[in-house]
Homo-oligomer: A and B are copies of this chain.
């Protein structure tokens, strides 16, 4: 589908994606109909089909939107310092309890609902996770350059494993409506990272 060229067109498309993301995060992907999204965003069916050929295409945009939210939230923390990483972990636990009402990771929650829905959306979700990991990996590489992290650490693997452990913490926390499993999982992720701290930082 063509990207909107006018400001008004961009606003409309953005509003649809925003409403879809909020509804799908709250109710789940399959429980959110295009009609629900039209009503929530105040747009009409013809506008919708001007920008999206299908619900699948909309969900692909929602995945990108959720990735951007995750990246925006974490951009408040300097992920190239030990203190920044710890503060980021703490903030995610706090958000899960106080802002997300235990709904889980904005990206992980939607991804786990899409794994049975074909390779297109699964691949988009995999790309979103790879992007997220690359941002964390960049921070870890900067820590190597500045001497905080040992040279024998593998930033890409550490970043991927950290995100994996985080996702598991989110799932158990959302299932039990309890932050403890998330906090404990992140404590392990932190220990794993710290095991590569250079001697000066231990």
Contact = CB atoms under 8 A, between A and B. Distances in A.
A161 B188 contact: yes
B109 A115 contact: yes
A75 interface: no
Give the oligomeric copy count.
2
A54 to B, nearest CB: 16
A14 interface: no
A51 B1 CA distance: 47
A188 B165 contact: yes
A166 B164 CA distance: 9
B188 A160 contact: no
Nearest to A172: B164
A139 B192 CA distance: 24
Nearest to A158: B184
Interface in A161-202: 161, 163-172, 174-177, 180-182, 184-185, 188-189, 191-192
Given A113-B112, A115-B104, A126-B176, A185 B171 contact: no
5 nearest A-B residue pairs (beta carbon)? A168-B168, A30-B30, A28-B116, A112-B112, A167-B168
